[in-house]
Chain A
Amino acid sequence: RKEVEQDPGPFNVPEGATVAFNCTYSNSASQSFFWYRQDCRKEPKLLMSVYSSGNEDGRFTAQLNRASQYISLLIRDSKLSDSATYLCVVNYGGRRALTFGSGTRLQVQP
Chain B
Amino acid sequence: DGGITQSPKYLFRKEGQNVTLSCEQNLNHDAMYWYRQDPGQGLRLIYYSQIVNDFQKGDIAEGYSVSREKKESFPLTVTSAQKNPTAFYLCASRKDGNNQPQHFGDGTRLSIL
Could you tell me which A residues sit within 8 Å of B by CB distance? 31-32, 34, 36, 41-46, 49, 87, 89, 91, 93, 95-98, 100-103
User: Is A46's CB under 8 angstroms from B42's CB?
Assistant: no
> Which residues of chain B are within 8 angstroms of A98 by Cβ–Cβ distance?
94, 101-102
Report if A42-B106 is in contact (Cβ < 8 Å); known contacts: A49-B101, A101-B42, A103-B42: yes
Could you tell me which B residues sit within 8 Å of A by CB distance? 31, 33, 35, 41-43, 45, 48, 50, 56, 58, 88, 90, 92, 94, 98-107
Q: How far is the CA of A42 from the CA of B9 in the complex (A)?
A: 11
User: Is A43's CB under 8 angstroms from B104's CB?
Assistant: yes
**Closest Cβ–Cβ distance, residue A28 to chain B (whole Å):** 15
**Closest Cβ–Cβ distance, residue A5 to chain B (whole Å):** 11
**Contact residue among B41, B58, B88, B105 (Cβ-Cβ distance under 8 Å from A97):** B58
User: Is A44's CB under 8 angstroms from B104's CB?
Assistant: yes
User: Is B90's CB under 8 angstroms from A43's CB?
Assistant: yes
**Contact residue among A36, A42, A46, A102 (Cβ-Cβ distance under 8 Å from B41):** A102
User: Is B98's CB under 8 angstroms from A91's CB?
Assistant: yes
- Closest chain B residue, CB of each to CB of A36: B101
